[in-house]
Structure 1
């Protein structure tokens, strides 16, 4: 595997070409100045929009400034992520943030102005000024929020409370990222060292059970010690969600969270109910795991260790890219040809280097192209990560190429569909290619664990959020004991009686940062189920599904997420897509059991 001591050692072809955004720092600087002037100009529209002409003028300038701002912010972010220690890059990002604050202050008058405007008046403006047709859907979308937007004075009060309302999340983040000290574990030389998160993710997959147990205990130690402090931040976050939903006249915190995507709460409830009807294969998988590991009692620290050993493959980046193109060939020539071009055009930053941001992501920049960050390790996991992120990148590419700026960005609700369809096609391709029985088992195990983490675990989290918010809405207390009771009973229900509980299990809620973004995790599960459904059809050669899926990739946010998915044949208002995915999970477990 290639490890690089410095960025200058990485081949040019494996680094981003940031010149595609700005040829020089001077060009970036010029746009920053321009945005500052434009923000001043936008402010002058406050109180001065009286007809279709001035409304169009404001909206057009606002769109232009947001186009520039996205470019400026992307450049700063990518520079920081190349080396998070670089103080010059950090200064670019700080300036972008200040610019963002200036922009949102300059345009904050617009939403209250629009909602005070009679719909008949807005229609008149649109009839007068042809150019307003372009903005029509967005303008009327704002009226959906009318019942939930308060008076100008109350809105100002809420916006001033913004920092206070986000403090539970901020406090948790400080506890979780800065202050937590994990317990000690024994290293290779038999010395005691403090556990880190990076070490934990490796040790919890270690073949040596004592090492797993030691890492598990050390990892949970601070969460158990701090359970009351963390419970108070989580309880405050939940109560804040409930209070704001009430002030804004939503029936519940859940419905407030689903409102922007126009998703009825039945979709959320149906996801939980359908998953719970299909828990038997999950319980069966726990049994298989217990037998294969040869343990008398299966415990939580046994749930992440791979069940098949000795099949680690070396897959260099060139080979990974070639494999991806073959695996995705069912998506047609336009898709694979476009994807092939991304590599030489240097849309991807491939290698891990000192100071580079960890993980992987895709950032689509409208009017330029997608930028993909990887930390490629020449192994199977890196191949899956590549295929996943390139799914997002292709979604950005097609939507940006086909849609005007106003509808080019896709919603988070549909984001995971494009990445997961690619992963499903990859696993099918790899299983078809493999002759070695052991490798086949390894791939099945990999996919079953992915399925479990993306669907079952996220649905369990979604149910935890639903129960805790309902308790707050009914004025019931929320504290460490309440959270632990709910979490433990859900964990038992989802994982089955095959797992023997250590005391730590019930504190799982205390280590999940997603709980501070209310009702977000369910989108992983709906996206995953939708993707399984689509990939299945595409692999069976269903041309109609393929055509509608490629159309979906080009749709951005031109309709609400559920509508976009419906056009591909996935109807999340019915239990069918979830049932199909869960049925496939059962089949995978059965095949693995054989």
Structure 2
């Protein structure tokens, strides 16, 4: 792995070309000013929309302002992510965030106004102004929210309270990212150094159990110290969500969380129930892990270290990209050709540098192209991350190429499908092209652990969210003790009795940022299950599934997520896709055990 001191050392083709968005900062300033001027114009439509023509004028102006706002926001965000220490980029982003609040406030009148109209009146507006056809599906879809939208004055108040409602999340974010100081660990030379998150992710996989335990204890130390403060922020976030659900007349917070995607409570419950019914292979894997590591007691800090030693694959970025193109060949020549272009035209920022945002993501910017952020380390994990993010990027590309702006975005519910299909194709390609038993075992171990993290852990988190919201709705006080008791119970149910619990296990809830974005994590698991179903069919040579999958990638938000998936042969209202995914997991564990 190459270490870079600055971005100047990185070759051009491995860096974003942000001039694709704005050639000059002056161009960004022009669009910023345009949005700034359009915002009061939108507010000026309040009380003035009395016919189809006026309605079209408002909606077209709002779409223009919204698209420009997205563009200026993305440009400044990408600049900050390249170097979070860049004060000029930070000030640009701060200005756009403020502008975004002004835009939201200026247009907050519209939904209450729209839903105050009788549906027949709206349809007469659409009939008299043909240009409204473009917006008609969205307008009529809004009536689904009729019983959940308040009057104009109340919506204005809720809009102004947005910052207060997000305070628990912001407080946790500051605690978690800025204030928390982890305990110390012993360096290779015997000196003590403060643990960082980056160090922890490596140390928890270390072959040396003493290092793993030391890192684990040091990592959890501040969370145990701050357990009551963090419990207060989480309880506040849950109560806020429950209160908003009541204010907006939803039967429960869960149903509010599922409403936008038109997902029934049964789909959520079915995911949890089916997983728990078929949990035994995960318990079996814990037994295998204990035996492979030769331990008398398996503890939480033993769950991430690779079970196959001595396989350190060095995969340079260019080689990783070539491997990806081969692995994804079953998706067709067009798919592979477009992927080649992403690399050549600098859609990807590849290398880790000081100040750069950690992790990886894809961000699709309509009218420009996707931007993919990586922190590539020339290893197997980086290869999987590359393939995963390019799945998202291709989904963004195909939807933007085949849909107008209004339907180009896709729901988070289906977002993990394309990325995971790519990963399943990759693991299949790698397994088919290795003759080294140790490497094969290593790959199986990698995929099993990924399955565990993306599926089982997320289902456990989903059950934790559901139960804590139900506690709040029934008036049960939420505090560190309640959270810890529930989390420990769930961890035992999912991961089995083979694990000996350290005190830290039950405080796992305190370090999960996703809990501040309720009823989101289950989508990782449903997306993962759907992707396994689709990928297995494609690998079996099922041409119909390949064709419907390509249609799915091009569909954006032209239908509700469950309906889009049904067209590919995945029906998440039944246990079948979940059962198929769990069957695949069982096969992986069996093969790994036999090897």
User: TM-score band (shorter)?
Assistant: over 0.9
Per-residue CA deviations over 1:51-78 (Å, capped at 9, x if unaligned) read 0011111111111122222211111111
CA distance in 2 between partners of 1:281 and 1:76 (Å): 46
1:25, distance to aligned residue in structure 2 (A): 1.5
What residue number does 1:405 align with?
405
1:284-295 aligned at under 5 Å gives the runs 284-295=284-295
Give 3-state SS (helix, strand or coil) of 2:362's partner: strand
Q: Does residue 351 in structure 1 map to residue 351 in structure 2?
A: yes
Q: 2:109 touches 2:155 (CA, 8 Å); kept in 1? A: no
CA distance in 2 between partners of 1:441 and 1:297 (Å): 23
Q: Does residue 133 in structure 1 map to residue 146 in structure 2?
A: no
1:232, distance to aligned residue in structure 2 (A): 1.8
1:547, distance to aligned residue in structure 2 (A): 0.2
Q: Does residue 213 in structure 1 map to residue 231 in structure 2?
A: no
Worse-superposed segment, 34-43 or 464-473: 34-43
1:98, distance to aligned residue in structure 2 (A): 2.2
Per-residue CA deviations over 1:394-443 (Å, capped at 9, x if unaligned) read 00000000000000011111000000100010000000000000000000
CA distance in 1 between partners of 2:172 and 2:511 (Å): 9
Count of residue pairs the alignment pairs up? 594
What residue number does 1:580 align with?
580
CA distance in 2 between partners of 1:468 and 1:354 (Å): 39
What residue number does 1:376 align with?
376
1:186, distance to aligned residue in structure 2 (A): 1.2
1:154, distance to aligned residue in structure 2 (A): 2.1
What residue number does 1:418 align with?
418
CA distance in 1 between partners of 2:80 and 2:477 (Å): 43
Give 3-state SS (helix, strand or coil) of 2:355's partner: coil
Per-residue CA deviations over 1:371-415 (Å, capped at 9, x if unaligned) read 111111111111111101110110000000000000001111100
Per-residue CA deviations over 1:5-48 (Å, capped at 9, x if unaligned) read 21111111111111111111122222112222222322221111
CA distance in 1 between partners of 2:11 and 2:183 (Å): 40
What residue number does 1:147 align with?
147
Q: Give me the CA root mean square deviation.
A: 1.1
Give 3-state SS (helix, strand or coil) of 2:2's partner: coil
Give 3-state SS (helix, strand or coil) of 1:144's partner: helix
Give 3-state SS (helix, strand or coil) of 1:362's partner: strand
Give 3-state SS (helix, strand or coil) of 1:570's partner: coil
Give 3-state SS (helix, strand or coil) of 1:145's partner: helix
CA distance in 1 between partners of 2:77 and 2:484 (Å): 38
1:208, distance to aligned residue in structure 2 (A): 0.8
Structure 2 spans left out of the alignment, 5+ residues? none
Structure 1 spans left out of the alignment, 5+ residues? none
Worse-superposed segment, 158-167 or 217-226: 158-167
1:236, distance to aligned residue in structure 2 (A): 1.7
Give 3-state SS (helix, strand or coil) of 1:207's partner: coil
CA distance in 2 between partners of 1:240 and 1:46 (Å): 29
1:117, distance to aligned residue in structure 2 (A): 1.0
Q: 2:105 touches 2:156 (CA, 8 Å); kept in 1? A: no
What residue number does 2:367 align with?
367
CA distance in 1 between partners of 2:158 and 2:14 (Å): 46
What residue number does 2:92 align with?
92
1:224, distance to aligned residue in structure 2 (A): 1.5
Q: Does residue 484 in structure 1 map to residue 468 in structure 2?
A: no
What residue number does 2:436 align with?
436
Q: Does residue 42 in structure 1 map to residue 42 in structure 2?
A: yes
CA distance in 1 between partners of 2:220 and 2:575 (Å): 36
What residue number does 1:535 align with?
535
1:464, distance to aligned residue in structure 2 (A): 0.8
Q: Does residue 123 in structure 1 map to residue 112 in structure 2?
A: no
What residue number does 1:464 align with?
464
Give 3-state SS (helix, strand or coil) of 2:363's partner: strand
1:160, distance to aligned residue in structure 2 (A): 2.6
1:170-569 aligned at under 5 Å gives the runs 170-569=170-569
- TM-score (normalised: structure 1): 0.98
1:217, distance to aligned residue in structure 2 (A): 1.2
1:105, distance to aligned residue in structure 2 (A): 2.2
Worse-superposed segment, 100-109 or 133-142: 100-109
CA distance in 2 between partners of 1:299 and 1:280 (Å): 18
Q: 2:300 touches 2:499 (CA, 8 Å); kept in 1? A: yes
1:309, distance to aligned residue in structure 2 (A): 1.2
1:504, distance to aligned residue in structure 2 (A): 1.2
What residue number does 1:79 align with?
79
Q: 2:109 touches 2:156 (CA, 8 Å); kept in 1? A: no
Q: 2:183 touches 2:222 (CA, 8 Å); kept in 1? A: yes
CA distance in 1 between partners of 2:81 and 2:176 (Å): 21
The ranges of structure 1 where at least 4 consecutive aligned residues each deviate by more than 4 angstroms after the TM superposition are none
CA distance in 2 between partners of 1:327 and 1:27 (Å): 40
Per-residue CA deviations over 1:133-160 (Å, capped at 9, x if unaligned) read 1101110111111101112222223223
CA distance in 1 between partners of 2:165 and 2:402 (Å): 38
Q: 2:311 touches 2:439 (CA, 8 Å); kept in 1? A: yes
